Amino acid sequence: MKKVIIMRGVPGSGKSTKAKTYGGIICSADDFFMQDGVYKFNRKLIYAAHAHCIYNFEKALFNKEPLVIVDNTHTRKWEYERYIKCAERYGYEVVIDSLKDAGLSCEELAKRNVHGVPIENIKRMLARWEE
């Protein structure tokens, strides 16, 4: 059966590293900010980044890719419900892989994340986390 895996976790929790181990097509809002191999985040473009991610996701489902992974923080359920509905419409099984904070402190997460997300932002993400 075709499968979608939705990764959840704050920056530094290991989402992207784990997503790569699954071996499927990975869709991430972070990809939008990659320019010549360098991550250049622009808060003003976050909506466009997520629109780009859902576009790539649906394109992979339309192309009947056997395994599609969504690699975003998804701290709240509404942030990934659209992916679930879309996957089900295309006949995919959906698995949620929730790493949350991977058992690490906010300080460790801030040091580990590759995009330089500050500790204050990580704390805010954890405060709004929905199980």
Write the pLDDT tens digit of every residue in 2-15: 999 999 999 999 99
3-127 CATH:
3.40.50.300
**Residue-wise pLDDT tens digits, 116-131:** 899 999 999 999 999 9
**Residue-wise pLDDT tens digits, 68-111:** 999 999 999 999 999 999 999 999 999 999 999 999 999 999 99
Whether pTM > 0.85 for this model: the answer is yes
Mean pLDDT score, 36-61: 93
Instruction: Label residue 64 by pLDDT band (50, 70, 90).
Output: very high
User: How far is 61 from 55, CA to CA, in rounded Å?
Assistant: 10
For the chain, the structural domain boundaries read 3-127
Beta strands in the chain (DSSP E): 3-9, 25-27, 34-35, 38-39, 67-71, 93-100
Q: What pLDDT is recorded for position 37?
A: 86
